[in-house]
Amino acid sequence: MNKRQNMLDKYSARVYKNRKEHLIELEKAESADTISANTRAIPGVMTARGCCYAGCKGVVVGPLKDVCVITHGPIGCGFYSWGTRRNKAKLDNNSDGKNFIPYCFSTDMQESDIVFGGEKKLEKAIDEAMEIFKPTTIMICSTCPIGLIGDDVQAVARRAEEKYGIRAIGYSCEGYKGVSQSAGHHIANNGLMRYIIGTGDKEPETKFSVNILGEYNIGGDGWEEARILKRCGIEVVSIFTGDGSVEALSNSHLAQLNLVMCHRSINYIAEMMKTKYGIDWMKVNFIGVGATCQSLRDIAEYFNDPELKKRVDDVITDELNTISEDIAYYKSKLTGKTAGIFSGGSRSHHYQVLLEDFGVHTVIAGYEFAHRDDYEGREVIPSIKEDADNKNIEQLTVEPDETLFRESNYEGKVTIDDYEGMFHEMSKGDIVVDDYNHFETDELIKAFKPDMFFSGIKDKYSIQKAGFTSRQIHSYDYSGPYAGFNGAVNFGRDATMTLYANAWSLVTPPWKNEPMLIGKVG
């Protein structure tokens, strides 16, 4: 009996039946591996998942620095999503001289607001925000009670727009919607598409212009990516949404190519921009030395410009020269080790590639809120069955824009508008877990004993207490950037540091290894 089966057997029949579809051992046989995903978490299993609000406010719209994001609800949700995700931002010409990232805004609803409705308080809160901060954009993110008591945040947003001549967007991203953060990503994507993208008219300044979609600038990842792209002569028009601004996003439709980092959280916008403006999108991965080189070469190949190709090659050569000694050192410390990665919906794929750069094979990989296409590739999308939970999330339909749509004639070598999924990266016998939970994390670690595990804060300390190198791959344990060339060095340094921390050797007290009584025989 294999380890996977052993673990699943500990579940009751009902849980077993559900979880066996979500926890698979890759066969890599002729018929493709398949997994169940984006379905309800089972109550009580200690899922790592968060909620729709977390996906909308916490992930996608929260990082927009020139927006006053007001959480409409009791205080908790706003408080927890205040400065806790490391989506770094700094002022630039695009952000109206305002950076709202250090702030938390909430309507802090009280019992009477729940009983009599909270729209008045929300309107008052907007008045107060306008008086104090004069933001040019306000976004309202709804928490659970809002939908239940029937507050119309979209109507409040419209009224704020009329009253103040600003942009205001209401998001109905109540926590209970969908089955995870994923629903919130989708709702946020719809709002950005409907109200922001395409409203600007500032043309890119250079020949090769891109947006980076699904890059939240955790630990400064987006800045490292932008640095490299700039060196290559590629203009970054906007980043969705790390260090992002409404102003930059409003011009994003004028870029020539969309680069997609986090497929899960942003693929809706990539697809909608393709339909509406004809912009091709390309799945890239700037996590990993090899992956970064490949992504850069793919971009150059897409633009098919000899000068750009040459420049990309030169930059790659130069960057590799700078980091090669460090990478080689950390590789010597890490090679031959094994890893497990549990992340949200993209990093478990991306980081496998980086780990391979250091000779580390990932034997367990899991996602909190991915869909089947993130595992199996987009070709399975037509076969994904809709259920009651995801039917409730609006599917925004866009049409080609009459004036701005540009037919894409790309017929070159690189793959566009597609993502082949995480399985593609993995080997026979590797374990993949969808919507992993505490029990499975515990059991998998015991069974597979990976040398290092990358997960979130909720698991970090239980894994560490069990004696395993445990690092946060959501927040990078407050380090970073991990993207690009410099990021790869940071990652190698951090993984090595934790794996070889001196304190590991102190865990067992010396007296545990000595006999307690010393006596003579005879």
Partner 1 sequence: MLDLTPKTVAERSALRINPCKTCQPVGAMYAALGVHRCMPHSHGSQGCCSYHRTVLSRHFKEPAIASSSSFTEGASVFGGCSNVNTAVKNIFDIYGPDIIAIHTTCLSETIGDDLNSYIMDMQIPEGKRVIHCNTPSYVGSHITGFTNMVNGFLNYYVDPNNKSASDKIAILPGWVNPGDNREMKLIAEQMGLEFIMFPDHSGVMDAPMTGSYQMYPDGGTTQAELKSLGGVKHLIAFGHIISTPTAELMQKKWKVPFNLLPLPVGVTFTDKYLMALQKLSKREVPHALEEQRGQLVDLMLDSHAYTSGKKVAIFGDPDIVLGLTSLVLEAGMVPKYVISGTPKDDFTVLVNKLLDEYHITGSTVKANADLFDLHQWIKNEPVDLLLGSTYGKQIAKAEDIPFVRAGFPVLDRYGGPLLPTVGYVGGIRMIEKITDAIMTRMERDYSDEDFEIVM
Identify the residue among 102, 336, 382, 519 touching partner 1 (CB under 8 A).
102
Identify the residue among 8, 26, 104, 398 touching partner 1 (CB under 8 A).
104
From the list 473, 453, 224, the residue with the least C-alpha distance to 344 is 473
Print the binding letters for residues 107-146 with partner 1: x by CB under 8 A, - otherwise.
Answer: xxxxx-xx------xxxxxxxxx-xxx---------xxx-
419 neighbors 380 (Cβ within 8 angstroms): no
The residues in 19-48 that bind partner 1, with binding defined as CB under 8 A, are 40-48
Number of residues that bind partner 1 (CB under 8 A): 93
The residues in 49-68 that bind partner 1, with binding defined as CB under 8 A, are 49-54
The residues in 163-202 that bind partner 1, with binding defined as CB under 8 A, are 174-181
What angle do the packed helices 484-499 and 306-334 form, to 10 degrees? 0
- Compute the distance between CA of residue 244 and CA of residue 221 in angstroms, rounded to an integer: 13
The catalytically annotated residue of 4, 22, 86, 185 is 185
Nearer to partner 1, 156 or 254 (CB): 156
Q: Does 345 bind partner 1 (CB under 8 A)?
A: no
Cβ at position 483, least distance to partner 1 in Å: 23
- Compute the distance between CA of residue 75 and CA of residue 69 in angstroms, rounded to an integer: 14
What are the Cα distances from residue 230, in Å, to 23, 208, 240, 253, 258? 41, 10, 17, 19, 15
Identify the residue among 32, 155, 381, 457 touching partner 1 (CB under 8 A).
457
Q: Which stretch binds partner 1 (CB under 8 A): 191-199, 205-213, 264-272, 464-472?
A: 464-472
Residue with tokens 């306008």: 130
Cβ at position 71, least distance to partner 1 in Å: 9
Helix (H, G, I), strand (E, B) or coil at 446: helix
The residues in 366-405 that bind partner 1, with binding defined as CB under 8 A, are 388-389, 392
Identify the residue among 4, 7, 11, 357 touching partner 1 (CB under 8 A).
11
Helix (H, G, I), strand (E, B) or coil at 69: strand
54 is catalytic: yes
Cβ at position 394, least distance to partner 1 in Å: 13
Cβ at position 191, least distance to partner 1 in Å: 19
Nearer to partner 1, 24 or 56 (CB): 56
Identify the residue among 458, 493, 497, 499 touching partner 1 (CB under 8 A).
458
Nearer to partner 1, 18 or 250 (CB): 18
The residues in 479-518 that bind partner 1, with binding defined as CB under 8 A, are 507-508
Identify the residue among 82, 164, 405, 410 touching partner 1 (CB under 8 A).
82
The catalytically annotated residue of 37, 41, 48, 51 is 51
Q: Which stretch binds partner 1 (CB under 8 A): 257-265, 281-289, 434-442, 483-491?
A: 434-442
Nearer to partner 1, 478 or 521 (CB): 478
Nearer to partner 1, 298 or 459 (CB): 459
Cβ at position 298, least distance to partner 1 in Å: 35
185 is catalytic: yes
Helix (H, G, I), strand (E, B) or coil at 420: coil
The residues in 292-311 that bind partner 1, with binding defined as CB under 8 A, are none
Q: Which stretch binds partner 1 (CB under 8 A): 154-162, 267-275, 347-355, 454-462?
A: 454-462
Cβ atoms < 10 Å from Cβ of 21: 13
The catalytically annotated residue of 22, 49, 72, 85 is 85
From the list 384, 364, 376, 367, the residue with the least C-alpha distance to 423 is 376
Helix (H, G, I), strand (E, B) or coil at 106: strand
Nearer to partner 1, 129 or 431 (CB): 129
316 neighbors 308 (Cβ within 8 angstroms): no
263 neighbors 235 (Cβ within 8 angstroms): no
Helix (H, G, I), strand (E, B) or coil at 87: strand
DSSP 510: G
Exposure string over 25-46, b if 16+ CB within 10 A, otherwise e: ebeeeeeebebbbbbebbeebe
DSSP secondary structure string for all residues of 353-410: HHHHHTT-EEEEEEESS--HHHHH-GGGGGGPPP-HHHHTS--------TTT------
The residues in 195-254 that bind partner 1, with binding defined as CB under 8 A, are none
The residues, ordered by sequence, that sit 6+ positions from 370 with a Cβ below 8 Å of its Cβ are: 37, 38, 182, 264, 344, 345, 346, 422, 434
Helix (H, G, I), strand (E, B) or coil at 70: strand
CA 500 to chain centre: 28
Active site members? 51, 54, 85, 185
